Chain A
Amino acid sequence: MGLLVLWELVAKLGSWPPYLFPDPIEVARSMWRMIADGRLATAAVRSMARLMEGYLISVAIGVPLGIFIARVSLIRASLKPVVMGLQALPSICWLPLAILWFGLSDAAILFVVVMGSLLAIAIAAEDGVNSIQPQLLLVAGTLGIRGPRFYGGVLVPAALPGIVTGLKLGWSFAWRALMAGELLFVSGGLGQLLTAGRELLDVAQVVAVMIAIIAIGTATDRFLFQSIELRVRRRWGLLPAT
């Protein structure tokens, strides 16, 4: 609340023209307009659908990849340096390559999203497997737990606290990569709504969309991932039980 008052004051007293620095009332009005005519919802749904698609691909490849890097020395030796190296590359740097390969299409954005989150997920999954208590693997051996039952019943659950952290990290990386990708062409998502605001010199819309992006990102992180993470850590006995 105090922040809003401060913002209002700065906007009113500052020497910037209102078309470059909107006051909160104007932003709220713009936000309301976008909600009322459904532009915001359409864009958000479009972005989320794209995000889900890319993210699920990342999870489906990243988690097994991380597990195999941790478990199979041949894969570790050959793939780990590659994964670690590519991880240093900001996801947006994949975009030129994506456009060359896929053109200005949904597939290009999807590719950027996948590349942005897959490696982080794989690295976290590998870490999760490596930090399993050796006792648990030993006891699984002595109890005769092998094969799919070992992977599904022991290895993945034992690594789950690490994997969930990776899923959370991967989600926020995917979200960033998506916004960067959507800025570049007529994509129909939130990113494009942002660009549209710039092109029309509608600074209130730009700020309103930024706020919407922050809100969506925070909400999924807080309400989805943090609660899952908390629940896993509590069940696994990594937090004091309430």
Chain B
Amino acid sequence: MLVPFTGRNGLAKIALTRVGHRYNNDIEALKNVNLDIHAGEFVCLLGPSGCGKSTLLYALAGHFPPSGGHISIDGKTVEGPSPERLLMFQEAALFPWLTVKQNLKFALRAKGVSRRESERQAREFIKLVHLEGFSDVLPHQLSGGMRMRVSLARALSMDPAVLLMDEPFAPLDAQTRAHMHQLLQSIWMRTRKTVVFVTHNVREALVLGDRVVVMASRPGRILRDLEVRLPRPRDPDDEALVAMSRQIRDELRRAELAGEPLPPSASETRELESKTDDATQAAGTASDLPVGAAGPVGARR
């Protein structure tokens, strides 16, 4: 079941207050974005390209200060990048001259972990992403999916308070991406990290997120903040999930047509013919995925 997110008790881990950003060329990338993210939530920022979702993520990571508003994590204002709010990119961005294990150890050593402890942790996290046996291989000898797994292992090994992911699986083929979704879900169910995940793929957002924050462009803003109530691990071909993705795509299209933020009530009443877009095709090809325990619609996980 997809229900509007109504907020949660307690202090937010990540608090965005009236965040706005204007680039030098005067494009309004973000306008009045308010968002609270709680500890242990997996939040997907979903929207078409140019809706400011990546801008929001980079501001959250501290790579630049937004021109308006306030961002804080654990009550502290975000200033500059830090391993406490680790950013993962579309590219694996491994150091090409270091082997898989050396890549992990280098990051751990920079964090101040001792030599012996970094060796142990590097092994542990390589195992977590099922890359035992590839420890001493160089990044360029790995496939794109494997590189991304190393990148994920490196990110998790830093044990960040918040993990920020910028469409990390977008360049992968559908099959590999489906495997990454499974892997990330299973790791997340164990670690319950706070994750902010940017994507333009509706199904990806629904498979991964507790919450899907739908964004629209010109100016970049939050359209809907939805809670995904589906049991995990989720299957992208689950009927309920497919229905939800259609619902969200319709809303996105309406928002595009209207060019205006919709009042929440209006979006329920209007129905538009649904059309398959690239997001469905990309996720839909992963049909040979082992079927997860898809429960009844509306069941809480």
Chain A residues in the interface with B (C-beta under 8 A): 133, 135-136, 138-139, 141-146, 149, 153-154, 157-158, 160, 235-237, 241
User: In the bound complex, do residue A136 and residue B141 qualify as a contact, i.e. CB atoms below 8 Å apart?
Assistant: no
> B164 — nearest CB in chain A belongs to which residue?
A142
Q: Would A138 and B89 be within 8 Å (CB), given that A143-B158, A160-B97 are in contact?
A: yes
| Residue in A144, A158, A237 whose Cβ sees the most chain B Cβ within 10 Å | A144
Residues of B close to A138: CB separation below 8 A? 63, 87, 89, 93
The smallest C-beta distance from A51 to any residue of chain B, in angstroms, reads 29
> A141 — nearest CB in chain B belongs to which residue?
B81
User: In the bound complex, do residue B93 and residue A136 qualify as a contact, i.e. CB atoms below 8 Å apart?
Assistant: yes
Q: Per a CB cutoff under 8 Å, which of B61, B82, B106, B138 touches A153?
A: B106
The smallest C-beta distance from B111 to any residue of chain A, in angstroms, reads 6
Q: Per a CB cutoff under 8 Å, which of A133, A135, A139, A235 touches B97?
A: A235
Q: Per a CB cutoff under 8 Å, which of B86, B87, B96, B109 touches A237?
A: B96
The smallest C-beta distance from B150 to any residue of chain A, in angstroms, reads 12
Is B83 interfacial (CB-CB < 8 Å)?
yes
User: In the bound complex, do residue B140 and residue A135 qualify as a contact, i.e. CB atoms below 8 Å apart?
Assistant: no
User: In the bound complex, do residue B89 and residue A139 qualify as a contact, i.e. CB atoms below 8 Å apart?
Assistant: yes
The smallest C-beta distance from B82 to any residue of chain A, in angstroms, reads 6
Residues of B close to A160: CB separation below 8 A? 97
The smallest C-beta distance from A155 to any residue of chain B, in angstroms, reads 11
Q: Is the contact region of chain A dominated by helix, strand, or loop, or is it mixed?
A: helix
> B158 — nearest CB in chain A belongs to which residue?
A143
B80-135 residues with Cβ-Cβ distance < 8 A to A are: 81-83, 85-87, 89, 91, 93, 95-97, 106-107, 109-111
Q: Would A142 and B95 be within 8 Å (CB), given that A153-B106, A237-B138, A241-B141 are in contact?
A: no
User: In the bound complex, do residue A142 and residue B97 qualify as a contact, i.e. CB atoms below 8 Å apart?
Assistant: no
User: In the bound complex, do residue B89 and residue A144 qualify as a contact, i.e. CB atoms below 8 Å apart?
Assistant: no
Chain B residues in the interface with A (C-beta under 8 A): 61, 63, 81-83, 85-87, 89, 91, 93, 95-97, 106-107, 109-111, 138-141, 154, 158
**20 more CB-based (< 8 A) A-B contacts, given A143-B107, A158-B95, A241-B138:** A133-B93, A136-B93, A136-B95, A138-B87, A138-B93, A141-B63, A141-B81, A142-B86, A143-B83, A144-B81, A145-B110, A149-B109, A154-B95, A157-B97, A158-B97, A236-B140, A237-B96, A237-B138, A237-B139, A241-B140
Residues of A close to B140: CB separation below 8 A? 236-237, 241
Residues of A close to B95: CB separation below 8 A? 136, 154, 157-158
Residues of B close to A142: CB separation below 8 A? 61, 63, 81-83, 85-87
**30 examples of A-B residue contacts, CB within 8 angstroms:** A133-B93, A136-B95, A138-B63, A138-B93, A139-B87, A139-B93, A141-B63, A142-B85, A142-B86, A143-B110, A143-B111, A143-B154, A143-B158, A144-B83, A144-B158, A145-B106, A149-B109, A153-B110, A154-B95, A157-B95, A157-B97, A158-B97, A235-B96, A235-B97, A235-B138, A236-B96, A236-B140, A237-B138, A241-B138, A241-B141
Residues of A close to B106: CB separation below 8 A? 145, 153
Alpha-carbon gap, A139 to B110, bound state (A) = 13
